[in-house]
Amino acid sequence: MRPFIASVIFLTGCATGSMDPHRWKTVEAPASGGAVTVSHGQRLRLPLATKANDGYEWHRVEPEILTIMTEGPADPEGINFTPVRSGEEKLRLEYRPLAGGPAQRTVSYTVTVPNDSAFWFRRFSMALP
């Protein structure tokens, strides 16, 4: 009877997605900015909320060379990013009016994507000279 109960508990946990091996691990950055590290295969979430119909939105100001890319437009909870290459970048965002004008708020992050966080690098690093 105990193995049956253990199987049911295990399968229930898998059904909720909490044990899903393909689910993204989300790294939550502070809303005030600062340093954050995100590895390949993870998602970076900046909790920079965009209010509906307030006439403002977040704009990425820096950098020109990207180590992380936006997954889509900002939603009421924030903005999601995905690492696309290893390195470090200074990410600066401004909350500006849609019609143009000065920024109402500016937030800066130093984002680090470790070189050894890529799956292929971890998997095959022993084969490298």
User: Averaged over 82-99, what is the pLDDT?
Assistant: 90
In angstroms, rounded to a whole number, what is the distance separating the alpha carbons of residues 31 and 79? 11
- pLDDT surpasses 70 at 32: yes
Domain assignment of residue 39, yes or no:
yes
Q: Given this model, what pLDDT does residue 126 score?
A: 45
DSSP line for 5-57:
HHHHHHHHHHHTTTT-TTSPEEEEPPTT-EEEE--TTEEEEE-----TTSSEE
Which domain range does residue 95 map to?
A: 23-127
Do the beta carbons of residue 88 and residue 112 sit within 8 Å?
yes
Q: Given this model, what pLDDT does residue 7 score?
A: 55
Does residue 55 come out as left (phi exceeding 0), alpha (psi in the -120 to 50 range) or beta?
A: left
Domain assignment of residue 32, yes or no:
yes
Do the beta carbons of residue 91 and residue 102 sit within 8 Å?
no
Domain assignment of residue 18, yes or no:
no
87 closest CA partner among 112, 69, 65, 108 = 112
Report the domain count for the chain: 1
Domain assignment of residue 75, yes or no:
yes
Domain assignment of residue 57, yes or no:
yes
Domain assignment of residue 83, yes or no:
yes
Q: pLDDT (tens digit, 9 = 90+) per residue, 38-88?
A: 998 899 999 987 777 778 888 888 776 788 888 888 888 888 999 988 999
CATH of the domain at 30: 2.60.40.2020
